[in-house]
Amino acid sequence: MIPTEVLYLSVRELAGRIRSGALDPVELAEAYMARLEELGPRLGALVVVTRERAMKEARAARDEIRAGRYRGPLHGVPYGAKDLIAAAGYPTTWGAEPYREQRFDHDAAVIERLTQAGAVLVAKLASVELAGGMGYEQANASFTGPGRTPWNPEYWSGGSSSGSGAAVAAGLVPFALGTETWGSIVTPAAFSGVTGLRPSYGRVSRYGAMSLCWTMDKIGPLCRTADDCGLVLAAIAGHDARDHNSANAPYSYTLAKPARRWRIGVLRGATEGTQPAVRDNFLASLDVLRQGAELVEDVRLPEYPYNAAASMIIEAEAASIFEELIDSGRIHELTAPEDRIGGYAGQVVFARDYLKAVRVRGPAATALDQLFAEQRLDALAHPTRGTVAYPVGKKFSEAYPDVKGGGEPIGGAANLVGLPGIALPNGFGENGLPTSLSLTGRAWQENKLLEIGSAYQQRTDWHTRRPPNFG
């Protein structure tokens, strides 16, 4: 029987043991699937264990590795996929009751690539219904129930990749795929205390994944370490003709020793309106970063209506994507009451308003790129979230009424123009819940974020912590 502490190892650590024969991919897959079945429902993390597929892939991996045909660091490593991502042979439910029995006869591009890398799909993981696009206001917004962070299951695991965050945090899978239109990889990474990477828009093919917003959707990994995120990104990145916004930009995961100290911009007002622990942990993180970087304080973003543009784009594109769901009335089958009516306002957005938003995108993207170039910044640092996770059972707006927020609109800006970001656990706050540091990077510079993130994790141990009561 594989000890529980092995199930908390990083992908890289598991890979070494798999390659050497110390770990059998079949036994490893069985161990994770048992843990998923036992603990996944408690965390609202699981849609389905993909047992038959997993056993087939695990046996193939074992046989190939024994025959000397090693595919790379993901060979034989189990993983879970957010249930917006199609995998042949299993339902792809989008977290939504109307699609509970939906099946596709093909794999999404990211699943194809992970299969090619020899990874083993063990589960489809819970998602907020329709990736949160109908405007959910509390955690119970999926037919699988609220996602719960294993650090304190009375609190939300974050969304919309709620199952992916919880599953990695609780050692149910070594890595998972999530998606982000605006916040849905980094938020569950923050609230679940794991590392999440949002790639540049266009870096990873969207083929086979549910669209919420064609021009803002990204797919990326949630892992235990930044290094693992690099390993997974290397497998899933790359041009795909089936996604017409897929970049022809080859990616390889290499950590170069920097020729100079990094320059990291600290956003103006980064801790404005945050919880005290978020502020304190962020400042402590800056002290760690300072060991390898020059910090540039008080960085302001160029002035654009980022949030307004991003909001308008999502509202209009989602309205089109889900028009059949809305017109048919099946939207009223969604779990969260506010989601049942959340799609109607988007049906009456004026075209000129949507077009204004997508016109803002171009100059905003250029201005942000120039900010990085002119100030020679490798990353922008800011807290991932201003608070720890919200309690399950309360409206988000009522969770922390004293926390007012503030600072630069980095979330809207980054997602409007497709900048990469990484969320790194950096401590704990109220009720034993994790806090998180984010680094936002220049477009196409994921490796810089992974380098800085890896260096941060060499100097800290937050990413190695395990939630109490989950082994």
Partner 1 sequence: MDAPAGNGLTRRDFAKTAAAAAAVPLLTSLGACAAPGAAPPAPAPDAGGAAPAAGGAGSDARANAVADALTEVVRDRYGERLDAAQLETVRGSIRSNLGTARRLREFPLPISTEPVLGIPVPPPTAS
Interaction residues for partner 1, span 347-386 (CB under 8 A): 347-350, 353, 355-366, 369, 382-386
Residue 157 structure tokens: 């695991």
**What b-and-e string marks burial along 426-450, b requiring 16 or more CB atoms within 10 Å of the CB?**
bbbbbeebbbbbbbbbbbbbbbbbb
Please report whether residue 398 would count as binding partner 1 according to CB under 8 A: yes
Of the candidate residues 25, 98, 265, 411, the single one contacting partner 1 (CB under 8 A): 411
**What b-and-e string marks burial along 269-302, b requiring 16 or more CB atoms within 10 Å of the CB?**
ebbeebbebbbebbeebbebbeebbebeeebebe
Of the candidate residues 115, 187, 285, 435, the single one contacting partner 1 (CB under 8 A): 187
Residue 273 structure tokens: 């309106």
* Amino acid residing at 202: G
Please report whether residue 104 would count as binding partner 1 according to CB under 8 A: no
142 an active-site residue? no
Q: Which residue lies nearer to partner 1 by CB, 23 or 189?
A: 189
Q: Of these residues, 127, 161, 184, 438, which one is catalytic?
A: 184
Residues near partner 1 (CB under 8 A), total = 111
* Beta strands at 176-180 and 120-125: parallel, antiparallel or unpaired: unpaired
E strands in 253-332:
262-267, 293-299
Binding pattern to partner 1, positions 270-299, x when CB under 8 A? --xxx-------------------------
218 an active-site residue? no
Which residue, 98, 113, 137, is CA-closest to 233? 113
CA triple 288-158-382, angle to 5 deg: 30
Residue 41 structure tokens: 């429902």
* Beta strands at 46-49 and 120-125: parallel, antiparallel or unpaired: antiparallel
Supply the minimum distance, in Å, between the C-beta of residue 404 and partner 1.
5
Q: Which residue lies nearer to partner 1 by CB, 13 or 307?
A: 307
Please report whether residue 403 would count as binding partner 1 according to CB under 8 A: yes
Q: Which residue lies nearer to partner 1 by CB, 50 or 435?
A: 435
Supply the minimum distance, in Å, between the C-beta of residue 133 and partner 1.
6
Supply the minimum distance, in Å, between the C-beta of residue 98 and partner 1.
14
Place of tokens 């996944």: 40
Q: What is the largest distance, in Å, between two alpha-carbon atoms of the chain? A: 61
Stretch of residues binding partner 1 (CB under 8 A), selected from 8-16, 228-236, 399-407, 447-455: 399-407
Burial class (CB in 10 A: 0-12, 13-18, 19+), 136: buried
Contact at 8 Å (CB) between 25 and 18? Answer: yes
Of the candidate residues 10, 149, 160, 457, the single one contacting partner 1 (CB under 8 A): 160
184 an active-site residue? yes
Q: Of these residues, 127, 160, 211, 285, which one is catalytic?
A: 160
* Residues in region 198-257 near partner 1 by CB under 8 A: 200-202, 212-215, 217, 244-245, 247-250
Binding pattern to partner 1, positions 300-329, x when CB under 8 A? -x-xxxxxxxxxx-xx----------x--x
- Residues identified as active-site: 82, 160, 184
